[in-house]
Amino acid sequence: MIPSILPTYNRAPLSFVKGEGSWLIEADGRRFLDLGAGIAVNAMGHAHPALVEALTTQAQALWHTSNLYHIPAQEALADALVEATFADTVFFTNSGTESCELAVKMVRKFFHDAGSPERTEIIAFEASFHGRSSAGIAAAGSEKMTKGFGPLLPGFKHVAWGDHDALHAAIDKNTAAILIEPVQGEGGIRPLPDQCLKGLRDLCDEHGILLVLDEVQCGVGRTGRLFAHEWAGVDPDIMMVAKGIGGGFPLGAVLATERAARGMVAGTHGSTYGGNPLGCAVGYAVMQHVTAPEFLEEVRRKSGLLRQKLEGLVAAHPDIFEDVRGSGLMLGLICKATNTDVVQAGYDALVVTVPAADNVVRLLPPLTISDDEIAEAVKRLDHAATQLEGAA
Ligand SMILES: *Cc1c(COP(=O)(O)O)cnc(C)c1O
């Protein structure tokens, strides 16, 4: 019999009832160190007092009106994002995949209005992930996500990650945009080298193509800069955001330059809940913390600490791990053992991690994790690896 919840997830036998900072707690009191943060969502940890305060204050004042009216919390958050980034304008969504939908629409509208309606094709990359909506699965293109769901939204071409020749060959008179994650998340924590992102920007400029970045997972302080592309010193035309921006409240956004967004006039897009007062109040509190230079400096310092300890872990368990890669507090352990076995052994050692493609175990802790918690987390991973070695 089908369960009451549509069984599209293979859930771990864990069930948390409370969160405190970097900790997740089960009903029986077992405390897990959280190196997953709900897949890079709980950027400020669980139940951060400033976020709880922002949410409850807004909840007592007003939950929902509609985008038929001005929403002060939305305006404040949009101003903060415009102030802190390349963007001139922001549209709020409730998720990453909705941000993908708008990014695709914005690209198409741009060329339609520019008198080049034939330019509809977006070049994306193999092993990428852009969400589960029709545009999202067509953009990522992997058979795992698209099989059985055709006909797919047309207008996407896929090239292998790092295949420069294939990328150049894919560009033609119909190319509208290049869409890429600066650090692939689901694909296995694969950072795009800075010079490659610079190269993509140049390529786009040369051909009049829009550069669309998906920073849903790697954005909002995760890599130690507010957005990952800042490391390369280049700006996109359009950027998808979600996950960390809401700190656990469903919130997403599309950020764009005035030029890229110019076709999106009244009536061209909308969302009932997008930019609702609750989400924007929390997002504003997240932004206030994450944009502080000391905060990002701390993320970078803690990244160095975690990475160093993980390198020690890899060296101590050469049969379980192969290497560490990633950026900031978005790190991946490339495994020799099966990644899902490592994640399971982690659960037994009371540490939560997330598997990714390419046999990687993802470490995406709250950005607020402390040095002691980092040490304890790696100790637990070490214990998990020792248990796995014993089992082999
Ligand atoms: C999670 C994710 C998405 C989809 O976000 P949802 O909120 O699940 O729709 C899109 N792109 C990237 C890079 C992601 O990590």
- Predicted local confidence at residue 192, as pLDDT: 97
What's the rounded mean pLDDT across residues 23-31?
98
pLDDT at 53: 98
Q: Are 15 and 27 in contact (CB under 8 A)?
A: yes
Average pLDDT, the chain: 97
Helix 277-290 and helix 49-61, axial crossing angle in degrees, nearest 10: 150
Which amino acid makes up residue 113? Answer: D
Q: Does residue 206 register a pLDDT over 90?
A: yes
Q: Quick one: average pLDDT of 200-210?
A: 98
User: Which 3-state string (H, E, C) describes 268-325?
Assistant: CCCCCCCCCHHHHHHHHHHHHHHCCHHHHHHHHHHHHHHHHHHHHHHHHCCCCEEEEE
Q: Of all residues in the chain, what percent carry a pLDDT higher than 90?
A: 99
For residue 391, what pLDDT is reported? 85
* CATH H-level, domain 16-34+293-391: superfamily: Aspartate Aminotransferase, domain 1 (3.90.1150.10)
Single out the residue of 90, 43, 36 nearest to residue 220, CA to CA. 43
pLDDT, residue 179, reads: 98
| Ligand 1 pocket residue status of 34, Cβ below 6 Å | no
Other beta carbons within 10 Å of 205: 11
Q: How confident is the model at residue 392 (pLDDT cuts 50, 70, 90)?
A: confident
184 lines ligand 1 (CB under 6 A): no
Q: Do domains 16-34+293-391 and 50-290 have the same CATH topology?
A: no
pLDDT tens digit sequence for 38-56: 999 999 999 999 999 999 9
What's the 345 CA to ligand 1 centre distance in angstroms? 26
pLDDT at 338 exceeding the cut of 90? yes
Return the H-helix or E-strand segment holding 205. helix 194-207
Parse the chain into domains and list their residue ranges: 16-34+293-391, 50-290
pLDDT of 220 higher than 80: yes
Comparing CA positions, the residue from 252, 192, 195, 191 lying closest to residue 220 is 252
- Return the CATH class of domain 50-290: alpha beta
User: Amino acid identity of 151?
Assistant: P
Q: Which two tokens stand for residue 188?
A: 């296995």
Does the CB atom of residue 181 touch ligand 1 within 6 A? Answer: yes
Looking from the CA of residue 252, the nearest atom of ligand 1 is 7
To 10 degrees, what angle do helices 293-316 and 277-290 make?
80
pLDDT over threshold 80, residue 344: yes
Index of the ligand 1 atom closest to the CA of residue 214: 13
Tell how far the Cα of 54 is from the centroid of ligand 1, in angstroms. 24
Pocket test for ligand 1, best of 102, 179, 180, 217 (most atoms within 8 A of CB): 217
- Asked whether residue 13 carries a pLDDT value surpassing 80, the answer given is yes
The SS3 of residue 233 is coil
C-beta of 253 in contact with ligand 1 (< 6 A): no
How far apart are the CA of 217 and the centre of ligand 1, in A? 7
pLDDT score, position 276: 98
Instruction: Render pLDDT for 121-166 as a digit per residue (tens, 0 to 9).
Output: 999 999 999 999 999 999 998 999 999 999 999 999 999 999 999 9
> Quick one: pLDDT at residue 253?
98
